[in-house]
Amino acid sequence: MDFTVSTAVRDLTATVRRFVDEEVLPVERLVLDKGFGAAGVEIERLRGRVREMGLFTPHMPKEWGGGGLPFLDLAPLSEVLGRSLIGHYVFNVQAPDAGNMELLLHHGTPEQKERWLRPLVHGDVRSCFGMTEPEFAGSNPVWLGTTARREGDEYVLDGHKWFTSAADGATFCIVMAVTNPGAANPYARASQILVPLDAAGFEVVQNLAVMGERGEGWMSHAEIRLDDVRVPAANRIGAEGSGFALAQERLGPGRVHHCMRWLGICERAFDLLCERAARRELSPGKPLGGRQLVQAWVAESRAEIDAARLLVLRTAWRIDREGASATRDDVSLIKFHTAGVLQRVLDRAIQTHGALGLTDATPLAFWWRHERGARIYDGADEVHKTSVAKRILERYGMERMKG
């Protein structure tokens, strides 16, 4: 395996690092102080600057106006963007839009691509993805209450979703809904359907309070209801009943995107940890970093971040060569491992800052609130661990278990 990136990618990453540190971080301060909406004008100015630099939407093919970067080249760039809580958004490679773009690129019809994908790539609109439901366990994605019944050339959708990230201000939602309830295979019962948010019967009920913060715009998680929402049957993505398979295909690379971003958060938190430990004095001439316990936090964090990075890079390397379907175990491993590293590094950084770490004077408290979900969304830790363990044990001769 060779994780070496080209000189061009190294230069690109260095350019983006300077841009993030010099121009994005000052606007991040505005977001922390006044919220995403209040910083809207400045954020759009930054997105305009990125367009001028030719770096907007780096994960999409060049023929669609993107940067055309493969996973392995995107990894160092995504890390740098992860240093800021708005970095990925400024470059138009944020969740859930990044995954929705990839889904439409590979499975959308020509008409769907022109209507939904092109403005999404250009950053003219935002989207959301409606899968999780409050009444059903999110760890069982084939168990859904939202339905889409076929009536002529239309689907009529009814249901209830929550944690529909970035629905506030989005133009459309990709909704997972049961279209084939009688299918013998439970994995063939749901479909993915494009639903405009201005469709009659589509309601954004509220932005959910996550760790006491409701958020707004892209930085929000909504509860939505669908009440007799009618959309053309042509809005279905892929074949009827293929929703679960498409979701897995979408979520695989999406998990890699998350891990790349988490590594960037880890590096920023590590910088803050080390700066605090080196400069904060417990008494005159006795820095916090002189304590062996704090030194252990520094060493452990450095080792865990570097190890997680190598695991993520290996997965990206394999996806580029073998495709997402061949790397199912790798994706599960990086998902729960990197999420755990993220939580431990953030915790050490906050502890090093003491009471200051609980305030929004640094981004640490924001990340602690918003990234605790890293061990839950896109598959809880426990699901990934048990799934990959079962597959490994099957290779040792253990019979497949149900449930």
Assign residue 379 a region (left: φ > 0; alpha: ψ between -120 and 50; beta: otherwise).
left
**Are 139 and 26 part of one and the same domain?**
no
- Residue that is last in its domain, among 189, 213, 237: 237
CA nearest 190: which of 200, 177, 199, 175? 177
**Are 146 and 57 part of one and the same domain?**
no
CA dihedral of residues 279, 271, 21, 92 (deg, nearest 10): -150
Per-residue pLDDT, 73: 82
**Are 389 and 293 part of one and the same domain?**
yes
Beta bridge partners of 311: none
Any domain includes 403: no
**Are 82 and 161 part of one and the same domain?**
no
**Are 63 and 185 part of one and the same domain?**
no
Any domain includes 1: no
The pTM (predicted TM-score) of the whole model is 0.91
Per-residue pLDDT, 36: 93
Asked if 124 contacts 97 with a C-beta cutoff of 8 angstroms, the reply is: no
Any domain includes 378: yes
Long-range contacts of 102-110 (CB under 8 A, 24+ apart): 102/59, 102/60, 102/250, 102/253, 102/254, 103/174, 103/192, 103/237, 103/246, 103/249, 103/250, 104/237, 105/60, 105/61, 105/64, 106/249, 107/237, 107/238, 107/246, 108/237, 109/234
- Residue that is last in its domain, among 217, 237, 257: 237
**Are 207 and 262 part of one and the same domain?**
no
Asked if 218 contacts 89 with a C-beta cutoff of 8 angstroms, the reply is: yes
**Are 75 and 34 part of one and the same domain?**
yes
Per-residue pLDDT, 326: 63
**Are 272 and 342 part of one and the same domain?**
yes
**Three-class SS state of 135:** coil
**Are 218 and 159 part of one and the same domain?**
yes
**Are 388 and 271 part of one and the same domain?**
yes
User: Where residue 55 sits, what CATH number does that domain have?
Assistant: 1.10.540.10
Q: How many domains does the chain have?
A: 3
Tokens 């590094």 correspond to 345
Would you give per-residue pLDDT tens digits along the chain (403 residues)? 777 778 988 999 999 999 999 999 999 999 999 999 999 999 999 999 999 999 999 999 999 989 888 877 888 899 999 999 999 999 999 999 999 999 999 999 999 999 999 999 999 999 999 999 999 987 787 889 999 999 999 999 999 999 999 999 999 999 999 999 999 999 999 999 999 999 999 999 999 999 999 999 999 999 999 999 999 999 999 999 999 999 887 776 778 888 999 999 999 999 999 999 999 999 999 999 999 999 999 999 999 999 999 999 898 888 878 876 668 899 999 999 999 999 999 999 999 999 999 999 999 999 999 999 999 988 899 999 999 999 999 999 887 665 5
Any domain includes 67: yes
**Are 388 and 259 part of one and the same domain?**
yes
Assign residue 296 a region (left: φ > 0; alpha: ψ between -120 and 50; beta: otherwise).
alpha
Any domain includes 225: yes
User: Where residue 135 sits, what CATH number does that domain have?
Assistant: 2.40.110.10
Per-residue pLDDT, 2: 78
CA nearest 99: which of 219, 217, 244, 250? 250
Residue ranges making up the domain that contains 31: 7-108
**Are 227 and 257 part of one and the same domain?**
no
Any domain includes 146: yes
Any domain includes 285: yes
